[in-house]
Copies of this chain bind each other. A is one copy, B any other.
Amino acid sequence: MARVTLADVARRAGCSGAAVSLWVNGKSDGRLTDESAARIEAAVRELGYVPNRAAQQLALGTSQSVAFLFPGALYGDFFASIVDGVTGHLGPEWEMSFVDAKPPTNAHPTTSPLERALRGNPAALVAAAPSAAILDELRQVQVPTVVIDAPSAPPHVSLISLDLESSVSDLAAHLQQLGHHRVAYVSFLAESLSLASRRKLVRKQLAAHDVELIDEDLLLGALELQATKQAFLEIWPTWEAAGVTAVICADDRHAYGILAAARSAGIDIPRQLSVAGFNDLDPNTLLDPPLSAIWLPAFSMGELAADALAEHIRTGQPVRHRMATRYVPRASMTQRR
């Protein structure tokens, strides 16, 4: 497979490679006899010819691929939605290649994830929830790039960011109004600048509303319910002793884990512990109790990123979008008892 080359087709069709190339790329306008075109078409089909992309890229110097740099894994909905948003908005002529941003291998010249992404000569780059290191490396990158979900980015890259100020403020105000004084935080993806700044913002807004965010976060490596549940059960005694009456989770799915843990440990949510998350996934409304969350437009971010990419590529100018978010209070938050 992929054994059949242009030359084979040319030989079979009794013409030169140039002719075949022309036809295959639909550039045979008035440049080929109908008759040769037909012969080429036949040869292509009979031989099952599929162009070799590496060769095309090499000859052309460009590719039709966008490299997607994501933080280790898709981790379910949020990044998956972004991916779907991007792919859905890009034509099928685009190839998406994924490289995970986890630390490099043992390669000889220490290879950064970004470098690995760039090796494929992508026409564009999408970096989701990048680390500081990646953002820094990005300053040297010439390829049109859009960063999704970062607090900031080098001036020449496009940026789709989240405007969380007011929604987090709303959440903090809600907490204050309900009489909570000490809140704990469940975090995730320590490397990601976006997640780091999310925590800072939460702390700041809570402080502005006379609520204290205790220092001891629960830092998780994944989103799975079981893992979160275990981790929460371990840390809960400490939190409880510290007077924690509410928990904010960097991702709804952590909140799911806490809900599960609470059930198994007989902790009453929301009366004993109020919970809120980020994302506002579909199930939130259906949970028992329904989960308060800050809604994030994951899918739209992906779509917008694709548009931004297209525009950035066309105009050469970076584009920036700051997307609105919204605090959605639900029954998982209640008066401190």
Contacts and interface: CB of A to CB of B under 8 A. Distances in A.
Interface of A: 1-3, 23-26, 41, 44-45, 48, 50-55, 57-58, 63, 65, 73-77, 79-81, 83-84, 87-88, 91-93, 95-100, 102, 104-105, 107-109, 113, 115-116, 118-121, 140-143, 224-225, 253, 256-257, 259-260, 263, 281-283, 285-288
A109 B44 contact: yes
B98 A87 contact: yes
Contacts of A263: 286
Contact of A76 (B26, B80, B97): B80
Given A76-B80, A98-B98, A286-B256, A115 B26 contact: no
Contacts of A286: 256, 259-260, 263, 283, 287-288
Nearest to A299: B224
B63 A74 contact: no
Report the 5 A-B pairs with minimum CB-CB distance, sorted nearest first: A288-B288, A1-B142, A54-B57, A26-B108, A283-B283
Give the oligomeric copy count. 2
Contact of A92 (B26, B55, B116, B285): B116
A164 B198 CA distance: 42
A108 B23 contact: yes
29 contacts: A1-B118, A1-B142, A2-B118, A2-B119, A2-B142, A3-B142, A23-B108, A24-B108, A44-B109, A50-B115, A54-B63, A74-B83, A75-B84, A77-B80, A83-B98, A91-B105, A92-B100, A92-B102, A92-B104, A95-B116, A96-B99, A224-B282, A253-B282, A256-B286, A259-B286, A260-B286, A283-B286, A286-B288, A287-B287
A79 B44 CA distance: 34
Contact of A41 (B51, B79, B109): B109
Given A58-B54, A109-B44, A288-B286, A97 B65 contact: yes
